Amino acid sequence: MINEIVIAGFGGQGVLSMGKILAYSGLMEDKEVCWLPSYGPEQRGGTANVTVIVSDERISSPVLNTYDVVVVLNQQSLDKFESKVKPGGILMYDTYGIHKKPTRTDIKIYPIDATEKSIEMKNSKTFNMIVLGSMLKVRPMVTIESVLKALKKTLPERHWHLIPLNEEALKEGGNLIKE
Amino acid sequence: MNDKVTLMKGNEALAMAMIRYGAVCTSTSSPGFSLMQEGVSYLAASEVPALLINVQRGGPGLGTIHASQADYFQACKGGGHGDYHMIVLAPSSVQEMADMVALGFDLAFKYRCVSMILADGTIGQLMEKVVLPEQRPRRTDDEIRQQCPWAVNGRKGMRPSNVVTSLELDDDKMEENNWRFQACYREIEKNETRCELIDTEDCDYLITAFGTTARVAMKTMELARAEGIKVGMFRPITLWPFPEKQLREAAKNVKGILCVELNAGQMVEDVKLAVECKMPVEHYGRFGGNVPTPDELLNVLKEKLINK
């Protein structure tokens, strides 16, 4: 099983770190993983995207043109990546600021109110973990336990007290998916 | 850990001047490597081992910060002056990046030459699973005296002085030096040529690529095989010495070769020389930090070789 994923949004939304945590979660399950960021010289405000591959087999190309799962967090990224979802694949987008909705009918589309949920949780930094929670509900390529292990691995010890909040965000993200 | 030393220098030329007296490693990205060329030539002529790392970005000039492979000529054909070679290692994964540090040092010390890791911006930014090799302790001064009798770290009255220099104004002696360097390069060619072959036994078409493009081309190979097109892959791991014998052997029965690079056609010259132009050799390159995608390469393969 191979999961080819792209996460795209603005710099500062936690795009790259969401990808990194996902890749580390795969690592915790001894899967093959790969994380390739793409962003300009600026750190905040510009567009950023990251390709993550979580696979049971050896990964060939880290550079892809079509994806099984596309997660987009702004209109620009939605416009750019809608056409790059493999037929039958998944397109997930945060509804905040989206004025032109996706139109494809050969893929599964999941609008999620992640920005709204992060405001409700009174912490905008939970945003990317809410999105990750939603994504893993739709395509459970790694377990939430592995994500928590990955957080412990990637966060410096002084931030470990934030892990329960992240766990809550992952759960809330899963709850945004109603099928 | 007090056996690791990291030094920060003001610029690349200064860093190279220091390396000449330190047998160490330094890394940079393309424009910085251009600045180092004088030092590379001096290192080669002084027979001081060093490991240089160039994570290539798109040029010429300041260009872009994203991936490129346009420094192949500079690395393999000598960017500095004089007749010299570096051992050029081309990693295509993070694991290889890690492993090549130890390998690069070992080769540099074995042959008293300069070795380099020629990576690119994509491999440089990539995160993957990696098993780090065990850290080796730094050699003591006495071990250096024993293992590197050429080193200039104090004689303790044991032997005559060592002189590290690239200057030799006596023409006959300088010619002799050059013959010694060339003999060393022939030894390296004989012993240290490395490559990876994937599905080349039955292939009709061969893709040659190194670094990032080799990874992309591996996926192209999978896509092609799923369509019934037998594609094999030849990936040089040492760009110098170029694995020409291995390529000639792998390409024996193929209908054509596609050489994919992030440049306007550099390694393709060595590919053509290796196969003596006995079959069509096509080149496909992208520039400016752009990397081709697997399906793009499949279309190119069909267009340039299969449906021609």
List, in order of start, the domains of chain B with CATH numbers. 1-192 (3.40.50.970), 196-306 (3.40.50.920)
- Nearest-CA neighbor of B117 among B181, B38, B37, B33? B33
Give the residue from A33, A34, A38, A63 with the most B CB atoms within 10 Å of its CB, the best one to mutate: A63
User: What's the rounded Cα separation, in Å, for the pair B303 and B213?
Assistant: 18
CA-nearest residue to A50 within chain B is B126
CA-based R_g, chain B, Å: 21
- The answer to whether the Cβ–Cβ distance between B128 and A63 falls below 8 Å is no
- The mean pLDDT of B173-178, rounded to a whole number, is 97
Measure CB to CB from residue B128 to each of A34, A37, A41 and give the nearest one: A34
- The answer to whether the Cβ–Cβ distance between B294 and A65 falls below 8 Å is yes
pLDDT digits (tens, 9 = 90+) for A118-136: 999 999 899 999 999 999 9
Q: How large is the ipTM?
A: 0.90
Q: Write out the residues of chain B at the interface with chain A, using a CB-CB cutoff of 8 A.
A: 65, 122, 125-129, 212, 215-222, 291-296
pLDDT more than 90, % of chain B: 80
pLDDT digits (tens, 9 = 90+) for B194-243: 999 999 999 999 999 999 999 999 999 999 999 999 999 999 999 999 99
Q: What type of residue is B271?
A: V
Size of interface A-B (CB pairs under 8 A): 56
Average pLDDT over chain B reads 93
SS3 call for B258: strand
Say whether pLDDT at B1 is over 50: no
From chain A, pick out residues whose CB is under 8 angstroms from the CB of B65: 41
The residues spanned by each domain of chain A are: 2-175
B98 compared with B160, residue with greater pLDDT: B98
Contact A82/A109 with Cβ under 8 angstroms?
no
Measure CB to CB from residue B122 to each of A23, A27, A36 and give the nearest one: A36
Superfamily of the domain at A2-175 = Pyruvate-ferredoxin oxidoreductase, PFOR, domain III (3.40.920.10)
- The answer to whether the Cβ–Cβ distance between B216 and A27 falls below 8 Å is no
